[in-house]
Structure 1
Amino acid sequence: MNDLTFRITQNYDNLTPSARKIADHLRIHYAEAQYLSISELATECGVAEATIFRFCRSLGFSGYNELRLAMAKASLGDTSQPYAAYTSYGEITAADTVETMAHRLYTANMEALAGTLARTDEAAVLKAGDLLEKAGKVYCFGSGGSQIIAMEAWSRFLTISAKFFTIQDGHAQVMAASLLAPDDVVLYVSYSGSTREAADVLGPARARGAKVLLVTHDADSPATGLADVVLLCGGHEGPLQAGSIAAKMALLFVVDLLVNEYCRRNKQATMRNKDLTTSALACRHL
């Protein structure tokens, strides 16, 4: 018996009727539930988010993230790899050939991209384009693995415009956010949208009147409540798969959409600046 099942069994008789609905659901579906946000699990169980949190505490978990980790550990078989990408084609096992492993990873990446395409909101992309086009300065921020995606966004935009910036240090991001102007934009990347770092940056940015463009996976995350525009990516990332390549590809797909939307609105300036930056770097090519 895994730790999660043991805790549920030990505490089941003391759970409220609503909490028992969660317990009954997890007993059967914990392998799938590990990929859900707290709001998504609440919807599936037909309870409030606060009930999910109280359920976590009743089992001795500090919060939902710890419960998700327990679900992930409970779902691991003897041959499963905790870092393997989630895919309908199955998880990577020690018995797989390299060819099978490659097919599984390919499927996971393609599913992440297909999921992102399915979640693409044309109106949101157009509104995001408006924000970027009219912005005085655009700061590309994120934390952890998402910071890498934010830096990639800045790198792409830097070849066509000088108004895009990035800061890697989290404390410096907060300071910069506290000094933004109303015509500035924060392009924030956070797969979960539920990190303290996101709240620490987006709160001051909104207080200054700056606009927030959020790239995330969870439509109901805390960060979405601080955003003017939300663009959603696909892909499923469990608590033992943080920073997966499939999730990064999904986020990069959204970044690519934003870059191309900005370019097509500013064709002449894009062509001119792209020529300037490419010429400036020509001497570095052997």
Structure 2
Amino acid sequence: MFPIYELFNYLNRHPSDKTYSKIIVYLFTHQKEIQHLTISQIAKRCFVSPATMTRFCQAFGFSSFSHLREALTINERIKSYNALRMRASDFQQLQEQPEIFLTNYAAEITSALKDILEKIDYLEIDQLLEKIQQAEKIILIGYTTTLELARNMQIAFSASNKLIHVPENEELQKKAIQQANEQTVILVLSSYGTILTSHVDLINQISHRPAHSVLITQHTQNLMTNLFDQVLNLTSTNYVQIGNYPLEFFCDYFVRRYASLNEKRK
């Protein structure tokens, strides 16, 4: 999988005059051209050495420059509406009838939120929040879009004097999980459960720790969910086009409910 988020994360957190930042900018602004260039040619255009380009590839998980070029080629050929979780017919409707598209889009969000209200087990949620309150350490794991959601939850929990750890890359996540014990709760956020197949080693590591593990996800039927102690399937079906709306809605309730319960304890 093309680690586009890792590249953008680096770009967003480092000055634009950093060597790797310059390379990332060049790669994304010359995706078609790169398909026909060698590593030496790209290095020359980025004013770096081929050895620096090789180190850049390895730093972002590419085994070689050829691997990077192949990933960029695939990324460039993906239709824009595919990246936005849209069908071609929906994209055409958006182009020609934006008011109808937006009405349908809003209706799907509404359906998803109603679905959550019908599925939610308030007692189960409160019991989980009690575990979180009593736990010595909470590890919250998110990827790509859910990582930002995890950061927001971290800040929200801090307002209730509860520290949440959000390791931001797989190396830090594995290290945090290795240190987890019986007094730890591990929460994993996943929109559609793809983490279960894209990070199998991490999920297996979680399953072998004595911590209480919880997967919070929108609808998924992946059999690997049995590796968690608890699974919160927020919806009864997939709402692919609206992305993280259901998960964000639930997590907002989750942290607010924790705050309300925490105030009662005082």
TM-score range, shorter chain: 0.5 to 0.7
Consecutive aligned runs of 4 or more in structure 1 exceeding 4 Å deviation: 83-87
1:213–1:229 Cα contact (<8 Å) kept: yes
Structure 2 partner of 1:167: 167
Say whether 1:236 aligns with 2:238: yes
Structure 1 partner of 2:249: 253
Over the aligned positions, Cα root-mean-square deviation in angstroms equals 3.1
TM-aligned CA distance change 1:253 to 1:95, over 3 Å = closer
Residue correspondence of structure 1 range 1-286 to structure 2 within 5 A: 81-82=81-82, 91-92=90-91, 93-195=93-195, 196=197, 198-234=199-235, 236-238=238-240, 246-267=242-263
| Distance in 2 (alpha carbons) for counterparts of 1:142 and 1:222 | 20
Taking structure 1 as the reference length, what is the TM-score of the superposition?
0.55
Total equivalences in the alignment: 185
The alpha-carbon deviation at position 212 of structure 1 amounts to 1.0
The alpha-carbon deviation at position 84 of structure 1 amounts to 6.1
Deviation sequence 1:63-84 (CA, Å, 0-9, x none): xxxxxxxxxx9xx9xxx95456
Deviation sequence 1:37-79 (CA, Å, 0-9, x none): xxxxxxxxxxxxxxxxxxxxxxxxxxxxxxxxxxxx9xx9xxx
| Distance in 2 (alpha carbons) for counterparts of 1:84 and 1:107 | 18
| Distance in 1 (alpha carbons) for counterparts of 2:203 and 2:127 | 18
TM-aligned CA distance change 1:266 to 1:101, over 3 Å = same
Deviation sequence 1:85-105 (CA, Å, 0-9, x none): 679xx8341553332232222
Deviation sequence 1:230-275 (CA, Å, 0-9, x none): 212236355xxxxx5x2311001221232123222210678xxxxx
| Distance in 2 (alpha carbons) for counterparts of 1:94 and 1:251 | 25
The alpha-carbon deviation at position 115 of structure 1 amounts to 2.0
2:213–2:230 Cα contact (<8 Å) kept: yes
The alpha-carbon deviation at position 154 of structure 1 amounts to 1.7
Q: Structure 2 unaligned segments of length 5 or more: list them.
A: 1-77
3-state SS of the aligned residue for 1:165?
coil
3-state SS of the aligned residue for 2:168?
coil
1:141–1:147 Cα contact (<8 Å) kept: yes
Q: Percent identity?
A: 18
1:119–1:233 Cα contact (<8 Å) kept: yes
Q: Which residue type is aligned with residue 248 of structure 1? A: N
The alpha-carbon deviation at position 130 of structure 1 amounts to 2.4
3-state SS of the aligned residue for 1:230?
strand
Structure 1 partner of 2:10: none
The alpha-carbon deviation at position 179 of structure 1 amounts to 0.9
Higher relative contact order (CA 8 A, sep 6+): 1
Q: Structure 1 unaligned segments of length 5 or more: list them.
A: 1-72, 239-243, 271-286
Q: Which residue type is aligned with residue 238 of structure 2? A: H
2:215–2:232 Cα contact (<8 Å) kept: yes
1:121–1:231 Cα contact (<8 Å) kept: no
TM-aligned CA distance change 1:168 to 1:99, over 3 Å = same
3-state SS of the aligned residue for 2:243?
helix
| Distance in 2 (alpha carbons) for counterparts of 1:138 and 1:197 | 23
3-state SS of the aligned residue for 1:105?
helix
